Amino acid sequence: MTLRAERLSGMEMIDISVPLREGMVTYPGDPVVRMERAASIAGGDVVNLTRMDFGLHSGTHVDAPAHFIDGASGVDEIPLEALVGPCEVVEAPDLSPDSVALAPEGAERVLFKTPNSELWARDDFAEDFARLNGEAAALLVDRGVRLVGVDYLSVGDEAAHHALLEARVVPVEGLDLRGVEPGSYELVCLPLRVVGADGAPARAILRRD
């Protein structure tokens, strides 16, 4: 899996999404990704058609409040303005409160690049990944952050999820930030519009001149 970067009309675009594929690492207990051909031209059909079975928190994805708060809003109700706009990529050794404080004051969208990024080279789940605790998540809420992205399959522990989701902060999990330099970008992160869902896979890109 390699970082995909392109240029369009002088603008650099970096794909920071993890490709969905069979055999990819998933969070323990989540459904694994399965794909099969439902129709094939080689088999005499008019088209190739693929059936896919996977959990909505596979690969790069967005968490909705309903993920941890029963009866809360689904991913289809997340405001677009939270998902698109200026963001800061912050390189940090971990996701402790001290490291989270490295994010610039006033940043509404923050993506944390940690040693987690190197874990994407593995096909097995890494238990010792960096994650937010409740204190670190509360610090981001107090700073007015609207979206926080992390470079592995969970933004943090249960307390962190509750702190973020109850404050309507959007967690983006499963980003691939290998090769992305820290700094200012524009983020475009659009989850599938699955009605009432607790989350959804997303295509996330960074753009800058």
Q: Which two tokens stand for residue 4?
A: 């995909």
Q: For strands 34-39 and 4-8, give the pairing.
A: unpaired
Contact in structure between 152 and 129 (CB atoms under 8 Å): yes
Distance of CA 88 to the CA centre of its chain: 15
What residues are annotated to the active site?
67
**DSSP H or E segment with residue 140:** helix 134-142
Spatial distance between the Cα atoms of 174 and 18, rounded to a whole number of angstroms: 7
